[in-house]
Structure 1
């Protein structure tokens, strides 16, 4: 009888693992994969900074239906459950899922937690509940961007710099755009040369970069404008405020004993949830590595191989975390920067690699042709 591998999460980590398992097991081990997710479509949030610009991706290119990507598999091989995981019972090996207004129980032999993370302010840089809710939030932000005459982007990490760059490329000559960096430079987790390149390009695009400007509070006034209060005591008024800092793991359905104090799922060197026999966690929801697309990709590939090994009565292999830091980002539509360890990736290479924001991978992942 086929083993039922249940995966919770319909973003990159979850969908990739589902496709990898089905492809690997097709000629070796009999499995059924059940994917639980509230979103009917996979959302390519890597391109969300460009997606907030009105007129970009008008054909809904950032979303691709999950069900159609698995149409080659019969119902005894793959099942999509549209709903939100609200409970997990390790003893009975079941997941409680809220589907519309009803709840159902889904049994598993092996369970993968890949529910990712969310932004603290519910902005569409990550999934927001259902696909419809994420689409709506993105369109609402587009409308507010178009209407605003002044915009403040707070947080100067990768997302903040990418958002400011896209805004500068589109509206640098007609809107007042400010990027607030809490520290002495933008992109503090990257090389100083990356920070310098990004700052110069942002300024060229018409973005005002304010360093050592940490947001203490934001208040919406009676006229609909935002009052941004900085830790220095300075107050800035703007039509639109876009915070890009702060992520929280989507782990409310996981028993507290499996979580860190910050809510991340605790895993061991095999990506297995600490203290369990048949539950694993990958991607943003786990406490193993920082939130990064490439890290989730590595974890997905490793876990899929390990689960097949376990089903074939072979010993799993330990996951080796990458020890060399690397990062790349776009700064507007025509510039990019990045690094691998202490080596700066040449600008023309970073620009080429980030030109499409890897949107072409969305179809490859959902349909499984990438694996």
Structure 2
């Protein structure tokens, strides 16, 4: 009897979704030609059939009149239908467990009460991360995020006092969108008329830690021109809701009240279903930072994206790590010998090398922003041209959702080949 070998991808984040399309386009066909002793099938498991273009969430969260939520919500099923049902199955459900000894994952389908088990020959964990404010990410049912968008929109529209906490791109971009929506744009010789008190506070001594201080100061100046007050070295220790107001307590003991409080700092990895011994002290999945294998979980287990310990929660980290993941996955699958199931492939692995060049583009309102590419500071109009117009939805939204971004195969070297 032909052996069934399942390739399971957990999570249809940007990392997991593109990984699935790459496997279907470039790895599965090779396996079919080269490995006649088994049948391969790809499974993609995700809580929703929608993919949320997270990059643009600050604009949608500020107001859907600035950008409709439908523009950044993509149904992933049409893109998967281009492949044969004999080769791939999409399961709308949530991963609930991982067993390394039996090489199986458990999951619960949406709306179901029972858990199901699925064995894997190879596994990619790409469950991503979740933000503290639901409007900025989608790690559960689609409606949960849409409800948060609706709530945040209404609060932005009516609030007199808005407090946004965080100093990274999401916090800065959301503050800029909210301020422009409420206060309008400043003129060449005129200031905005403040219709709401908008405060952005961070525990750090600067905004945008990935960028140099001069660029961070430029971001602060743009925010202030939109009517945003920026506060530094202010750490929130508690936020409690009373009626329609939120009482925010700072580490120094000061208290601030707001009609809308938005925690826009950091993320939490979606890793609660994983065994604790596979996680680091921050609950990220420990991964070999060079090969992207999860060495402690056994052979042919990998992780990519925000859930993995190597990541800095950046889309650039995801894109830059695709070559290492795809080449090593292909090597491991083609080299597999059922008589020696734990044997590593001969030849060289593709190694991931983190790019530490200053590289980040941050939109501040619809008119431009700040940033740097490959260590070079870019002007505000360039930020507008690349990102400010539509937060890059037109550039990469549909192509990621339907798999067009993964049409090109990553070539491997003679040293990496195992055929």
Q: 1:332: which partner in 2?
A: 365
Distance 2:41 2:150 in 1: 36
| Runs of 4+ residues deviating >4 angstroms | none
Q: 1:127 to 1:59 in 2, by over 3 A?
A: closer
Q: 1:370: which partner in 2?
A: 405
Counterpart pick for 1:219 among 230, 234, 240: 240
Q: 1:256: which partner in 2?
A: 276
- Where relative contact order (Cα < 8 A, 6+ residues apart) is larger, the structure is 1
Residues 96-154 of structure 1 show CA distances to partners (whole Å, capped at 9, x for unaligned) of 001122211112110000001112x3422121411122222222222222221221111
CA RMSD of aligned residues (A): 1.8
Distance 1:56 1:5 in 2: 40
Q: 1:43: which partner in 2?
A: 52
Matched, 1:107 2:119: yes
Kept after mapping to 2: 8 A contact 1:258/1:274: no
Counterpart pick for 2:379 among 335, 346, 366: 346
Q: CA deviation at 1:259?
A: 0.9
Q: 2:285: which partner in 1?
A: 265
Q: 1:16: which partner in 2?
A: 18
Q: Which residues of structure 1 form unaligned runs of 5+?
A: none
Task: Give the 3-state SS of the residue equivalent to 1:348 in structure 2.
Answer: helix
Q: CA deviation at 1:24?
A: 0.6
Q: CA deviation at 1:261?
A: 1.5
Q: CA deviation at 1:59?
A: 5.9
Task: Give the 3-state SS of the residue equivalent to 1:264 in structure 2.
Answer: coil
Distance 1:331 1:159 in 2: 10
Task: Give the 3-state SS of the residue equivalent to 1:283 in structure 2.
Answer: coil
Q: 2:163: which partner in 1?
A: 152
Counterpart pick for 1:56 among 53, 66, 71: 66
Distance 1:262 1:307 in 2: 26
TM-score by length of 2: 0.84
Distance 1:154 1:34 in 2: 38
Residues 69-117 of structure 1 show CA distances to partners (whole Å, capped at 9, x for unaligned) of 1111111111101111001111211110011222111121100000011
Worse-matched range after superposition: 69-78 or 224-233: 224-233
Q: Tell me the matched-pair count.
A: 369
